[in-house]
Amino acid sequence: MDAPMTSARGPEREEASSSAIGFYGGDMMAKMPLAESAPAPEPPPPPPPPGSFGRPIMPPQQEPTSPAARAGAGAERADAVVIYTADLTLAVFEVQKSIETVAAIAKRQGGFLARRDDQSITIRVPSGHFDQTVKDLEEVGDVLHRNVTAEDVSEEFHDLQIQLRNLNAMRERLVVLLAKSNKVEEAIAVERELGRVSGEIDRIQGRLKFLADRARLSTITVRLEPRAASTVDKGPFQVPFPWLNDLGIGRLINL
Amino acid sequence: MSLSAKNLFTVRPFGRAGGLIAGIALAAWTFMGCGHPYEVATPTGFVDLEDRYDDGDEEYRATTADGVVIGVRAYDNEPYAERTFLVRAIENQLRLGRGYSLLASKEVAAKDGTKGTQLRFGHDEPSGPHLYILTVFTDEDYVYLHEAAGKKELVEKAEKSIDWSLREFRPD
């Protein structure tokens, strides 16, 4: 039986082809899911090839420095960083068994269980398998609520990479300065600045790692409700056969 | 001389009162033995509750000691509907309106070959997950409903008996 759809999906997008920064494994999905309440976005940038975080990939041209220049170049930028998340609420028979089914779907798609409790489960699957995973999950029960988002953090990611590059260069210069400093006061000042720069580098690396992880593995939270507690369609069309109202477990086993 | 209602009243082997009593007995046998427009057999492990639920809906009901219940009902097929139409109406009623999960659906046959559709539903009751197996047969006169329900693990254990009951079912 097809589960009744409580909300329609938006139009799906064609996959663009181009090289990009590779910081997460797997192929980017061909069709990008859209947020249910968001307006139709611009065509997505092309998918990145597989790669690993920490390996800087220089774009073919010099990085634009002004925001306008960056905006102009963004449309042609091939190194997109997109974070996919989904939030589903399903009406199911046997909640605990359905939670196990969701965990099995995550494993089948190359992902893992991130969190679970009595009535919800959060899984993480490679972004390339996000679309298929959501489709598989919708077969587990009747969809009461669906929220799918694709957050483009490319701008932030690339800005952070540029900052990191600059800070690394500054740190190298400070190390050289420290080696050359003859006076204690100079050395202390350089060390203080070195400490500040190192802290900034750590912070940016942490943020880059966080964004890369979120983009590499999409996050899907599934909340499960017993079907008895909810009806998918309040007031379906009633055909004129009164005996339909006498169907069901309660009447039969009530001896 | 053959035994018939007319002969009972005309022959009167035990006099006028005897003939009247015999006639009443024959009529009672006719109603009790032939009340259901179908034939059904009670599987091993179940107890036929007899006429307790035969309230005009031509209903049969049998139960195990653990509470797995089989029931058979027949309704006038009026207004006339095909089986596929009724199956769809049942799905809408139970799935969309009452929170039943449709777990499986298959075509089956009664003892005389009458085709039916079996729907297997799951439903979370306060005491735990339950199964509800509903099989629908139709002919020009009646809609026949063969039902079985109980706690999930108990229904699964009694499944062979339920299947046997279905195979022994025959619309008249």
Q: Could you tell me if residue A242 is inside a domain?
A: no
Residue A10 in domain: yes
Report the distance separating Cα B37 and Cα B170, nearest Å: 9
Residue B96 has its nearest CB partner, among A228, A231, A252, at A231
Q: What pTM does this model have?
A: 0.61
Query: Is there a domain that residue A246 lies in?
Result: no
Is the CB of B89 inside 8 Å of chain A's CB atoms? yes
CB contact under 8 A, A4 and B124: no
Question: For residue A240, is it within any domain?
Answer: no
Residue identified by tokens 């800087």 is: A56
Whether residue A248 lies inside any domain: the answer is no
For residue A253, tell me if it sits in a domain: no
Within 10 Å of residue A76's Cβ, how many Cβ atoms? 11
Nearest to B110 by CA among B53, B172, B62, B48: B172
**Residue A3 C-alpha, separation from nearest chain B C-alpha, in angstroms:** 10
Asked whether the predicted pLDDT for residue A183 surpasses 70, the reply is: yes
Amino acid at A4: P
pLDDT band at residue A82 under the 50/70/90 scheme: very high
Is residue A252 in some structural domain? no
pLDDT in tens, B122-162: 999 888 999 999 999 999 999 999 999 999 999 999 999 99
B83 interfacial to chain A (CB closer than 8 Å): no
B61 strand-pairing partners: B71
Are B139 and B159 in contact by the 8 Å Cβ rule? The answer is no
Into how many domains does chain A fold? 1
Q: How confident is the model at residue B50 (pLDDT cuts 50, 70, 90)?
A: confident
User: Do A154 and A80 meet the contact criterion of CB atoms below 8 Å apart?
Assistant: yes
Picking from A251, A253, A254 by the largest number of B CB atoms within 10 A of its own CB, the best residue to mutate is A253
Higher pLDDT, A69 or B66: B66
- A50 within domain boundaries: yes
Cα A188 to Cα A194: distance, rounded to the nearest angstrom = 10
Domain assignment of residue A15, given as a range: 1-234
Chain A residues whose CB is inside 8 A of the B150 CB are: 253
CA distance B27 to chain A (A): 29
Q: What pLDDT is recorded for position B98?
A: 84
Q: In this complex, is the C-beta atom of B97 within 8 Å of any C-beta atom belonging to chain A?
A: yes
Nearest-CA distance A253 → chain B (Å): 6
